[in-house]
Structure 1
Amino acid sequence: MSIKSTAAARIALAASISAFFATTASADLTDQSCEAITDFAYPDLRIESAQYLQDAIIRDVAYPPHCRVLGFLEERTGTDGKAYATGFDLRMPQDWNDRFFFQGGGGTDGSVRNAVGTNTRGNPDTLTLGYAVASTDGGHNFGSRSDASFGLERKALIDYGYNSVELVSLASKALIREAYGRHAKTSYFLGASNGGRQGLQAAMRHPNMFDGIVAGTPIKEQTRGHLATAWSLVVLAEMAPKDDQGRPILSKAFPDADIELILGDITTQCDGLDGLDDGVVDSARLCNYDISTLICDAEKGEDCITPAQATAFSKIHEGPVNSKGEELYAPMPYDGGADFKIWHIGDAEEWPNNGRRARNQSIKMVFRQPGDPNFDPWSFDFDDLAAVENASQFVDAKSPDIDAFVLGGGKLILYHAMGDSGISAIDTTRWFETLLERYGVTETAKFAQFYQLPGLGHGRLGIGPSKFPALEAIVAWVEEGQVPEMQISGGTPERTRPMCPYPTFVTWNPSSENWDCQD
């Protein structure tokens, strides 16, 4: 569909806002004015503390003077008898740049992280740049981020799914207005993993909340993503050595040396697909890896793997299917920087296994509804998806309908690490393709860009470059109309490449002896 230009309307609105700010009194933050915020009246809000921090140092980073507000929204006793609220941390710097920044969460949240404005890797926290920053616990806090029992309580599930970001954003903007005597001119959201999912939920459900959203490696459809969790466990359990009680020990199925051998072979096979044989893969999406070349001709040796290992590795990357062979979740790309061990194997030498998939609890109580704390993912029935579909309405961010966000002038930068072994980059790619189908390639490029990052795992760590100025780019896009043109740097070996918005990809141009973005 075609999205009509709203540039003239936005210019007129910006002019009226500028006039408003020019005539509105601005307040100075002091110890007294910060502490006075504890008396601020707002529906269902309890401010626990408001403290002016002059010399805050967190993890060796010095932050500018700011007012820190800790509060709770919608405190209540849940249907399970537990205490619930949406907790938040809001930090307002003395030298404010008139922008609001929401710091996305991670995992299933469960704690209020320091609202310092966590940025993309290698870039400064936004609190140091003058942003007012908020974070939330997602509507539950039981003292452990791994406690997924909140999923058994319906409102807590909804708060985690999408409601808490809206609650905290609205309250934070009201507190900002109270503290500074003026509203934020622009609002931004930046997060990865669950934070990426929250960003997409905001674009879909709360389209007027943020002017710009940066969503990275999003767990956008984790109900289906956890089918891959169960699939991995079932596949590995079939071939892993067992303890004396018959329980699989996954670390013995894929020793570190074998994982390194496979990942190195992926790089070897797919290196030249980006146009240059240089020992790194910069266009991972072109990689169609053939693991059969590593299978031992006879006994297992250091330079080969067993047929069982090859079959398991391939099945995990191909993704879960039902008894009819129908795909249930997107495949995983083959990438030499994949964090395969962290997600699928772990390093436990005895039961219980400690890979992320093996120790996950949210598959039992959050991403299946109704939740069941006694559910056994090791014996998952891939023909029975009723509980998965029931949970989708609360937690998944999969609709391509972001019409209101687009019409309001919103901008979206989306990225996914191609070596992410926990969340499929292909799934995110397919979602972006639904945007292209809905709005058209030309129109989509006016408000959304998607980047595939090779050589990196879920936490944006790995052999690929990982430093790029996403926040700087989204701000320039929102406030100045500059379409992002970013470079990404870092990696092993260290290098700099242009970031190519999908569907283009980076390739070496021998004529110019440089890197270009090509279709």
Structure 2
Amino acid sequence: MTQGERRVRITTTMRATRKFVGLATVMSVIVLAWLAIHRTAAVAKESPLAMHCAEFAGTVLSPELIAMPTAGALIESASMIGATAPGNQQGDEYCRITGRIKALNASTPDIRFDLNLPRRWNGRALQIGGGGYNGVVVSGTGVMPFSPDRAPLAQGYATFGDDSGHVGDSSLAEFGLVDDAVTNFGYAHLKKTHDVALALIARAYGRPPQRMYFAGGSTGGREGYTVMQRFPDDYDGVIANSPALNFSGVRLIGVKLGQAEYGGAGGFVPPALLERVYQRTLEVCDRLDAVADGIVSDVEACRAHEAQIIDSLRCALHTSTHDACLTDAQVATLLVMRDGLSLPYRLAWDVGGYHGYNVFEGTQLTGALGLAHQAQRQPVPTFYANGYLFAQGDGYLRYFVARDADFDSLSFDPQRPGKYRAQLIALSGTIGSMSTDLSGYIAHGGKLITLQGLADEVISPNQTIAYHDALVARFGKDEVDRFMRLYMVPGFQHGSGVFIPSVDLLGALDAWVTRGVAPETLTATDLAAATNGRSRPLCRYPGFPRYVGKGNVNMASSFVCAQP
């Protein structure tokens, strides 16, 4: 087959499907178009794929295959990865495809993507989200975070991901200067990559996937909620963990936190004192679930002791040199994080701020993603030196909001943003997933699983809970229970913590979608190094694990899911 024969040509009748109306019909037309063009029955009989893997290389996909405006896509490489190839831990061979989706504007970065087509396909596809500010292609070949060892690709899923439309470390926000790159990062890359992958999967196997899933955490969790809200007919199931739903809100509270630490005298809380706060919390709250296991499980009961904990940590003489207690300025810094952010204006979807964190309920703030480790602010804040929340918020203000690399975030007032208010509001609609209108996804029959740590120090667990409660207020508890499961995990932080759960969420989602088996209490195995292998029940919100008073404290069977 020549290069010209491999080029995709779709008639102009496809153009009418490019609007966001009847997306299911769009996909049907796309698939039929592929099949009409590539009727290679003989090849299909010779191989599990409808064409040989290497023949994808150099293929150009027409813009009409993609429901959002692009200049088409180019397949840069395609090769079979052998079952015994170095680095292939999947146990079977698969076709690995890499490519890029071209923008209409030549100055807009391409969206780079990877697609993996297993020889033994289970008829399902899984799109995998990114993290932070993305910028690195999601390969789709590995094990899902906090899941059992067998990767989705090894289970027969066709997997794919992308870089969201720019190149760079996930901490870098410079691409915020490019409008189209911001739109791609916010939502457009998800649809564009989905449509390209769907067309290639249909071409490879001779039929589209029976089920299309999405899975991601943090930014990838936000992306999961984004596809449900914006492209509800494209997905049958979503796993969206620790979701950065209120993206602008978490960036603004990061700025407020940095201002408390560095904007005045004495606000910096050194790591030793942060650890003292954590240990005092354990002293008061660890046994509230009937066992001392290093985990604050009954967070609501612990919250009732919050005033007691804070008072026991205050410096009676308010001395700034004391190394075993908190000054008023240091307490004020921690209260900024606990209280969250309230705005006198509304962001997109009538959002009025950001919910606070469980600072005094078992959240450890000394890790790599915690609060600042240095008393001096760096000219360009870094995660470790100045704290993850502040460093990310500072970059957001510089490049997305002010669009000035020299902008001083310490001088910015989120409550009174002045000339930047309109930009803040616009960004919150582009990069954010706070809409509670999931009616399209519900009507489609889609399912959702969200898991998050109650000790998360990056994405507030209370923000995620508030969104769930807003869904209940809109649709009613019974309706929400029919399509959503929320699991809040005690002791789990943003990828670390004293309890790091391993649980097969993809298996639970697939059983729910394909067989109607709705997940209830699951069992999570701890991945934390010090306690690896112990287990706990993974309780549906608002439940939490409570020790029954007897039995092995390292076994989930010794716990029940209690209500706060």
**TM-score in same-fold range (> 0.5):** yes
- Partners of 2:538 and 2:237 lie apart in 1 by 19
Corresponding residue for residue 258 of structure 1: 273
User: What is the CA distance between 1:169 and its match in structure 2?
Assistant: 1.1
The question of 1:64 aligning with 2:83 is answered no
**CA shift in 2, pair 1:422/1:296, >3 Å:** same
CA distance in 2, matches of 1:363, 1:285: 33
Residue 538 (structure 2) aligned to one of 499, 502, 505: 499
Letter in 1 for 2:396: I
Per-residue Cα deviation, 1:393-433 (whole angstroms, up to 9, x for no partner): 11110011111111111000012222222221111110010
Trace 1:175-186 onto structure 2 (pairs within 5 A): 175-186=200-211
Query: Structure 1 residue 445: deviation in Å?
Result: 0.8
Give the Å deviation of 1:153. Answer: 2.3
Give structure 1 stretches of 5+ with no counterpart. 1-19, 242-249
Structure 1 counterpart SS, 2:102: strand
Aligned twin of 1:487: 523
Q: Is the 8 A contact 1:275 1:508 kept in 2?
A: yes
Aligned to 2:9: none
Q: Which structure 2 residues correspond to residues 75-474 of structure 1 after superposition, within 5 A?
A: 75-78=103-106, 82-123=107-148, 124-141=150-167, 143-238=168-263, 253-288=268-303, 289=306, 290-297=309-316, 303-321=324-342, 328-334=353-359, 335-343=361-369, 345-348=371-374, 351-352=377-378, 353-354=381-382, 355-360=387-392, 362-364=395-397, 368=401, 371-385=403-417, 386=421, 387-459=423-495, 461-474=496-509
Does the 8 A contact of 2:215 with 2:238 survive in 1?
Answer: yes
More relative contact order in 1 or in 2 (CA 8 Å, sep 6+)? Answer: 1
Instruction: Decide whether aligned partners of structure 1 residues 71 and 423 sit closer, same or farther in structure 2, where only a CA change above 3 A counts.
Output: same
Compared CA separation, residues 32 and 469, structure 1 to 2 (3 A): closer
The more displaced of 505-514 and 93-102 is 505-514
Q: Is the 8 A contact 1:465 1:496 kept in 2?
A: no
CA distance in 2, matches of 1:173, 1:27: 22
Cα distance per residue 1:106-134 (max 9 Å; x no partner): 11111213221541314232112221110
Q: Give the number of equivalent residue pairs.
A: 479
CA gap of 1:157–1:30, structure 2 versus 1, over 3 A, is: same
Q: In the aligned structure 2, how far is the partner of 1:279 from the partner of 1:431? A: 28
TM-score of the superposed pair, with normalisation by structure 1: 0.84
- Shift of residue 30 of structure 1? 7.6
Q: Could you give the per-residue CA deviations for residues 53-107 of structure 1, whole angstroms, max 9, x where no partner exists?
A: 114544x8456311111111133445xxx34221100011112111101111111
> Which of 29, 38, 42 is 2:57 aligned to?
38
1:135 Cα offset (Å): 0.6
Cα separation, 2, equivalents of 1:174 and 1:359: 39
Shift of 1:499: 1.6
Task: Give the counterpart letter for 1:379 in structure 2.
Answer: S
Distance, in Å, in 2 between the alignment partners of 1:363 and 1:83 is 19
SS at match of 1:328: strand
Question: Using the alignment, how far apart are the partners of 2:118 and 2:365 within structure 1?
Answer: 37
CA distance in 1: counterparts of 2:441 and 2:265, whole angstroms:
48
Of 444-453 and 149-158, deviating more is 149-158
- 2:103/2:110 contact within 8 Å kept: yes
Please tell me the residue identity of whatever aligns with 1:418.
L
Question: Which range moved further: 112-121 or 43-52?
Answer: 112-121
> Given residue 33 of structure 1, which amino acid in structure 2 is its aligned partner?
H
Q: Helix, strand or coil: the match of 2:140?
A: coil
Check conservation: 1:294, 1:304, Cα contact below 8 A.
yes
Distance 1:135 1:291, change over 3 A: same
In structure 2, relative to structure 1, the CA distance for the partners of 1:447 and 1:366 (3 Å cut) is farther
Cα distance in structure 2, aligned partners of 1:511 and 1:118: 35
Distance in 1 separating the partners of 2:134 and 2:80: 26
TM-score (norm 2): 0.78
SS at the partner of 2:436? coil
Evaluate the alpha carbon distance shift between residue 63 and residue 233 of structure 1 in structure 2; reply closer, same or farther with a 3 A threshold: farther
Matched-pair identity in %? 27
Partners of 1:303 and 1:416 lie apart in 2 by: 31
